[in-house]
Structure 1
Amino acid sequence: MTATSNAAEQNLPQIGTPQWLEAEIRQYLCSGSYDSSFAGWPGMNFVDVAQKARQRLLTALAEETLGRANGFGYQVTLPSDLHAWTRNKLAPMVHGLFGADECPAILGMLARNVVFLTGQNIVAVLMEQRWLSTAWNLANLYLYSVGAPALSQQACHIEGLSQETTCYVSMSYFDETDPFADFVVHEAAHVFHNCKRTTIGLGESRRQEYLLSIDYFRRETFAYACEAYSRISSMAASTRLRQQLLERHGEALPPPDDRVDHGEYLDILAEAVRARNGWQRILKRCAPIQRRQPHVTNTP
């Protein structure tokens, strides 16, 4: 018995029918999941099928997002010069992690690629996404920011998301009350291990292909540590005051991420607030562990 006849007997939409396609679209909207092979979608060949399916799913996602956000909004406005604001926000971290000759290129790249999701740009942002899963997460990020119902109760409640060199940030950033939180710094820190040096015109070597080498299992620790250290160092100039702020931070809730060892995270920050360049201490603690190759002795 064929899959088509099985579907017919169970009163299910048959593959390739308009009803089946609508069911596939609804599945994507409700869960973010989809068949990456796009089997059953119309088209002349695999590339044509994939392009048309992706376009249809993203269009449906944009329409659903706008529909859910209708009637919701926020009162916060963006800085009048977002590029200048972003450069000023990220300059301490960039100057602390990179040499003076590389800072202009890195700051320029970041200033162009921090995107706050608004009602004016959300459709364009969703439609330009390469990955359908990223688009679905961004739609939920935007819906959460305006107080609208998310696409799924299982959707992650996030305030920011990095994709390659772009940092997408919720407008709720400007309503944040946690003195140690900074989603912009957090997402920008992730760009450093996602962006290859040649992407922004910097030289690379065999051992330095990306802007920074961060241990895979400490990437979130690195981003959270940069986020907190950015806030601490901006609020206190002396070591004593930075240590006091760190103690206050340690008494609050830890980063809500099970990928972060909270003890290690606080230990990294403790080392950073005592150092002359805390950024470099964070980088050193989160760098890949260099394992020595076993020595092999040639015997005759």
Structure 2
Amino acid sequence: MRTSLIERFLRTGEETWDGAGSGRFTLAQLNDDEVYTGATKTALRTLFRLLADLLPAEAQEVPQVGLETIRASIGPMVKGLVERDWQEVALRELTARTFVLNFQGAKAAVDAELSTCFMGTAWQILWALFGDYGLKPEEINVECDGVSAGDFAHVRLSAYETKDPYSDVIVHESAHLLHYLKPEHYGLHVRRGQERFVDVEFCHRELFAFACEAYSRVVRHDKRKSRISFAEEMKERAFSFPRDRIEEVAALVLNAARARNGWRVIREATVIPRVRGRAREFSTYP
């Protein structure tokens, strides 16, 4: 394969074939794609190692955030939103598929993403990690606190360590997995009309994730009065949420805090409307 094509891809991320978009590819083009894939994976791993050498030794030695920590963060959300007979599988899968991007976590996350057919997320992980240490080129923008592209969820270290009392980006990114992953892929019985663990409206996916994130902090307060008081202060005290979304998110979180089952409030505000039928069974979490 021509070196110029590989170089262009590594610099710009653009992969251009003659006849691209036609749906018709020659054997030579398919072979080129295989070479592309191998070259970019090698380049990414090499760059990761080179940049790792520039990190402080203590940053490289910090262990990956443990599964028990992730499970504890997302447990209330899963139990509040997912059907009873799916909960244990959902909790297992979300826990295993969520990574916090310290050095060790990012290494594992890159390996996980490179096991799929898509490499764009692996590059985002690389720059999310090294950007937190000032090792990212200025022309590369990494403005997000996390990445969830379908199979895995990734939380930027700086977002994980935020002091915002309403923020839990582990919950936010794992919430996206709930509307990506399909129960039938894990051998679960799927009721007619439901495809994902939580079938969230496309236009409400960010509202869903932000509300889950903040409400997971609300339910840490034992008393209903303290939950409501904490939720009422969100609009003024939450500083890591997008300012153009804060009113909408805070209003939904407050409604959830006032309700007997707040997770149901979030679910009903964001899922795809369904034809009326037999009620589904959910845990009654606050």
**Letter matched to residue 177 of structure 1:** K
Asked if 2 retains the 8 angstrom alpha-carbon contact of 1:72 and 1:148, the reply is: no
SS of the aligned residue for 1:212 comes to coil
Partner Cα separation in structure 2 for residue 66 and residue 257 of structure 1? 37
Consecutive unaligned residues of structure 1, counting only runs of 5 or more, are 1-15, 292-300
Q: How far did 1:232 drift?
A: 1.6
What is the Cα deviation at residue 273 of structure 1?
Answer: 0.4
- Residue 179 of structure 2 aligns with an amino acid whose one-letter code is H
Closer, same or farther in 2 for the Cα pair 1:159/1:231, shift >3 Å?
Answer: same
1:134 match: 121
Cα RMSD over matched residues? 2.9
The secondary structure found in structure 2 opposite 1:168 is: strand
Note the alpha carbon deviations across 1:234-270, whole angstroms, 9 max, x for none.
Answer: 1x11222112212322103372275x4x332222111
- Find the aligned partners of 1:110 and 1:183 in 2 and give their Cα distance: 13
Q: Is the CA contact (8 Å cut-off) linking 1:195 and 1:211 kept in structure 2?
A: yes
- For the residues of structure 1 that align with 2:258 and 2:264, how far apart are their CA atoms? 12
Q: Where in structure 2 are there 5+ consecutive unaligned residues?
A: 21-25, 276-286
| Equivalence for 1:34 | 15
Match of 2:46 in 1: 63
Residues 273 and 164 (structure 1), Cα distance of their counterparts in 2 relative to 1, 3 Å cut: same
Q: Is the 8 A contact 1:76 1:171 kept in 2?
A: no
2:135 aligned to 149, 163, 183, which one?
A: 149
Q: Which amino acid aligns with 2:15?
A: Y
Q: Of 248, 256, 279, which aligns to 2:233?
A: 248
Q: Of 172, 178, 183, which aligns to 1:186?
A: 172
* 114-123 or 58-67, larger mean C-alpha shift: 114-123
Match of 1:270 in 2: 254
1:265 and 1:151, CA in 2 relative to 1: closer, same or farther beyond 3 A? Answer: same
- In the alignment, is the contact (CA less than 8 A) between 1:137 and 1:155 conserved in 2? no
Question: Which amino acid letter does the alignment assign opposite residue 249 of structure 2?
Answer: Y
One-letter code of the match for 2:223?
Answer: S
Return the letter of the residue paired with 1:59. T
Is the Cα contact below 8 Å between 2:6 and 2:39 reproduced in 1?
no
CA contact (8 A) 2:100 2:160 kept: no
Residue aligning to 2:62? 77
- In structure 1, distance between residues paired with 2:141 and 2:177: 23
Q: Percent identity?
A: 25
Q: What displacement does 1:152 show?
A: 5.0
Contact 1:159 1:183 in 2 (8 A): yes
Which structure ranks higher in relative contact order (CA pairs < 8 Å, sequence separation ≥ 6)? 2
One-letter code aligned to 1:237:
D
Quote the offset at 1:285 in angstroms.
Answer: 0.7
Task: Provide TM-score, normalisation by structure 1.
Answer: 0.77
In structure 1, C-alpha distance between the alignment counterparts of 2:82 and 2:96, rounded to whole Å? 19
Q: What is the CA distance between 1:211 and its match in structure 2?
A: 0.9
Answering whether residue 83 of structure 2 is matched by residue 102 of structure 1, we say no
Q: 1:111 to 1:78 in 2, by over 3 A?
A: same
